[in-house]
Amino acid sequence: MTETLLDVKGMNCPLPVLKANRLLRGMAPGRRLRVLATDRAAVGDFQAFCRETGHALLAYSEEAGVFSFVIRRRADDPDKKG
């Protein structure tokens, strides 16, 4: 499955989560977003963001000071009235 890549290295809280949220809103349900960040606070921020929004944090890792997060967009948008 292909992923969309968002590189927010060098940006500090709350910008990585805000930029990821904006991008996820435009993605189709079930699509994956990989975020690359250097802000150590992003680990807790993305965990809380996914818990609160219903997106799935599939994986995260750290290598040489760069954090990688894989997020799957939630299946439906609870903000939209159907």
- Would you please indicate which residues are annotated as catalytic (active-site) residues? 13
Q: What are the two backbone dihedrals, phi and then psi, of residue 4, each rounded to the nearest 5 degrees?
A: -95, 140
C-alpha closest to that of 37 among 12, 18, 58, 54: 12
Distance in angstroms (rounded) separating the CA atoms of residues 78 and 63: 35
